[in-house]
Amino acid sequence: MVQGSRDELLETIADQLPKAVFKDDGVEMLLADDAEGTLPAMRMVAMIEADYEARDMLAAKLAFKEEDVLAMPVSERVARCVAAFKYIHEWKRRRAADRIAADKQAVRAFRRRSRSRDQS
């Protein structure tokens, strides 16, 4: 997967996962067997886990079936969601740091070009 599309996909998941996992701004968790957000949330978690393991994210999503969710204890669902939230948080932190470093590098390059023009 191309880096840009991977980043867009992770960004979308980062925005959607809390909405799928929590109801009413975090008051109620939607990971029970009969909850409407359980399957979509766990598919997103499977995609995040696939990214962490350098596997195909979309294939992981499609391979994750409703039976997989129903066979999984709620405690495991919660643990996997927490791990996914941590991964997304770390990914966003690294991405922000990379952007800052790239901006600093661009500023340095601009200053070097400006100085060389001034000296000419």
- pLDDT tens per residue across span 84-108: 989 998 988 998 999 899 999 999 9
DSSP characters over 8-73? HHHHHHHHHHHHHHEETTTTEE--STT-TTHHHHHHHHHHHHHHHTT--HHHHHHH--HHHHHHS-
66 or 36, greater pLDDT: 66
pLDDT band, residue 1 (cuts 50/70/90): low
pLDDT at res. 73: 86
pLDDT at res. 100: 92
Q: 92-98: which pairs have CB atoms within 8 A and are 24 or more residues apart?
A: 92/14, 95/7
Once rounded to an integer, what is the mean pLDDT over residues 40-66?
88
pLDDT band, residue 119 (cuts 50/70/90): confident
User: What is the spatial distance between Cα 37 and Cα 47, in angstroms, rounded to a whole number?
Assistant: 15
